[in-house]
Amino acid sequence: MYKKIILSFFTVSFFTISCNDDFVDTKPLDQLSQEVVWGDASLAEAFVSELYGGLGVGGFNEQMLASLTDETIFTHPGRNITTITEGRSNPADPGWINGTLSWVNMYSRIRACNLALANLAKPQFPNTGNIVERLIGETKFMRAYYYHQLVRYYGGVPIVDKAFALTDADFLTPRNTFEECLNFIVKDLDEAATLLDGKSLQKGRATKAAALALKSRMLIYAASDLYDVPTAKAKSKAMASFGKPELMGYVSGSRTERWQKAKAAAKAVLDLSGFGFQLGLTAPVAADQGTTNYMNQSLARNGGQNEIIFGRYFIQSKNEDGGRVGLFNGPNGYNNWAGNTPIQELIDDYEMMDGSKFDWSKPELAKSPYDNRDPRLKASILYEGSPWKPRSASAAPLDPANQIQTGEYEIISGGAKKTHFGLDTRKSSIEDWNGSYTGYYMRKFTDPNPGLVDQNSWQQIPWPFLRYTEAMLNYAEACIELGEDAEARKWLNQIRFRAGMPAITESGDALRQRYRNERRIEMVFEEQRYHDARRWMIAPTTLGRKASIIVVKGTLKAGKTVTTYKYDPSNYDYSYTVGKIDPGKENRNWDDKIYFLPIHRDEMNRNNKLVQNPGY
């Protein structure tokens, strides 16, 4: 290889010397020099706009973070998700790592942020309309966002606040402590909030509100069990034996003070005007309205768009993966892919309409498990009998009722009873290879427009990186931990009332548990559960549980002669049996090391100043 490179060099040199010097003194046609970019306001803004590219399509990838949690499992094999869910993650094979949390990708974006900040410090173009301050504010927010991604997956990481140059003597940087990283992120966000104050920006760009909301998230994390080293050591063997605990959390200081800072940061978001949806209610809305309200939030329409503080938006003309959520997760009976399918543990955590827990041991509930449940269930999950979109032309005669079919049922065919396998099962007559293993499908984030059905459909639902309700929940959590139960209930009940759910009345630890379940249900599929279960250190009993499924069977009642199946309790007696997912498909196992992801072996080899995370 080296000989080929040297030969090529001499060949090119020969022809270069033979040509006119003007021929080689040219500028590349596909690039702009640094001087040109930072000497022009429009080009500088284009550079800063590209910083947002590290956000990808938000959480709307085919493989979702929900499938690392007790929300969903991933249907298709060979994607390395089970490497993490089964506790097999290691530095050589960490498992599925999304591009939006990849160590390499995040540091690449951080370098771009550092380049922008260095050049914007001495702008070479007119500061018309305070564009320089705005661009610096956006850049600081994005740098803070990318560092927040690294910290919440890996713990303390190297803080690099400049773009390395070839003239630098040393490129190797040790990990900073968790506290140092937290302070660095908060400082960037505080400065971003000041610089962006009063700036009117396009949807999808950083704002003062976004900076304050991300600060609220980071401070609620900082106060949590996982990042309080004495607490973490008591709950985790891996943490207890780790020699550098300051990399993973606070080793000293007042935890009460941290909760107070988290409360203040969340309240700063709540005090902003122009955000929030259906707030100020003093009693629950009707159940149907609660479902509609929750759908409007997740679809960002009819007022629900006011929930989003910072989002990733899509347009059909670009045909990005973020517009294919329905295809990725929808029922196979609609020629969709059933990628991330809800598990029974999630379904069971939706309360009854009266606020009581669902209980399979109660026959009246087990007989009709989806009736009289939290209205958000209907808005988030497709289950047996859920009304849905019209089938394709070829499938329409099989399901004129347009209902989800996830079970097996008796029908009369040729004068005899036969078994009809649901069109949305893995024995479907439409597609029998990519249906749900669990008996459920995601509905949340899927546009209900009947014209958007199959793989030729693209939707425009935004991904909510930060929304107002997260700040409400953060505020309530901080209040609970500070013993301010009445204030916590006030904000939690606003969330519940708009969903059609009754008030929470508990105090103390009972209130804490109700709050955690409320957050689980309200923020489902929004990349919250993975981080919440870890920071609360409840992962062994939540993320580590074996995933459960539902088996639905419909038996014809005496004298009924159904020839084309539809969900109908007047014709059928239904049975619902909870089972466990086949261990050959997924065999979840919690290992304390999974509280943090491993730093990849390649990064460890590149930088001998790095310290690996506990347990690896």
Give tens-digit pLDDT for 451-469: 876 656 789 999 999 999 9
What token pair was written down for 50? 């590209």
Report the C-alpha gap between 291 and 294 in whole angstroms: 5
pLDDT for res 496: 98
Taking alpha carbons only, the member of 60, 70, 100, 71 closest to residue 446 is 60
Beta partners for residue 420, in sequence order? 409
For residue 226, what are its two tokens? 């996982």
For the stretch 557-571, pLDDT in tens is 999 999 999 999 999
**Helix or strand or coil: residue 308?**
strand
Q: How confident is the model at residue 9 (pLDDT cuts 50, 70, 90)?
A: very low
Domain locations in the chain? 35-248+595-606, 314-461+547-580
Residue 418 has pLDDT above 80, yes or no: yes
pLDDT of residue 32: 78
Chain-centroid distance of CA 569 in Å reads: 37
Instruction: Give pLDDT tens digits for 169-192.
Output: 888 999 999 999 999 999 999 999
Please classify residue 191 by burial: count the beta carbons closer than 10 Å to its beta carbon, then call 0-12 exposed, 13-18 middle and 19+ buried.
middle
Residue length, the chain? Answer: 616
Give the CA radius of gyration of the chain: 27
- Tens digits of residue pLDDT in 433-450: 999 999 999 999 999 998
- The pLDDT, as a whole number, for residue 27 is 72
* Band of pLDDT at residue 69, cut at 50, 70 and 90: very high
Residue 229 pLDDT: 98
pLDDT digits (tens, 9 = 90+) for 28-68: 767 778 888 999 999 999 999 999 999 999 999 999 999 99
3-class SS at 66? Answer: helix
Q: What is the pLDDT of residue 453?
A: 66
User: Residues with Cβ < 8 Å from 50, sequence gap 6 or more?
Assistant: 112
Amino acid type, 140: K
3-state DSSP helix/strand/coil % of the chain, to nearest 5: 45, 10, 45
Q: Would you identify the CATH topology of the domain 35-248+595-606?
A: 1.25.40
CA angle centred on 91, ends 85 and 96, rounded to 5°: 40
How far is CA 522 from its chain centroid?
A: 13
Q: d(Cα 298, Cα 320) in Å, to the nearest integer?
A: 19
Strand 340-342 and strand 72-74: the pairing is antiparallel
519 DSSP assignment: H
CA distance 246 to 252: 9
Could you tell me which of 68, 90, 92 has the C-alpha nearest to residue 79? Answer: 68
pLDDT digits (tens, 9 = 90+) for 255-307: 999 999 999 999 999 999 999 999 999 999 999 999 999 999 999 999 999 99
Per-residue burial over 317-326, b = 16 or more CB atoms within 10 Å of its CB, e = otherwise: eeeeebbbbb
pTM metric for this prediction: 0.94
What is the model's pLDDT at position 194? 98
Q: How is residue 33 written in tokens?
A: 């020099």
CA distance 469 to 476: 10
CB 326 within 8 A of CB 446: yes
pLDDT digits (tens, 9 = 90+) for 473-497: 999 999 999 999 999 999 999 999 9
Give the up-direction half-sphere exposure of residue 329: CA atoms within 13 A in the CB hemisphere.
32
The overall average pLDDT reported for the chain is 94
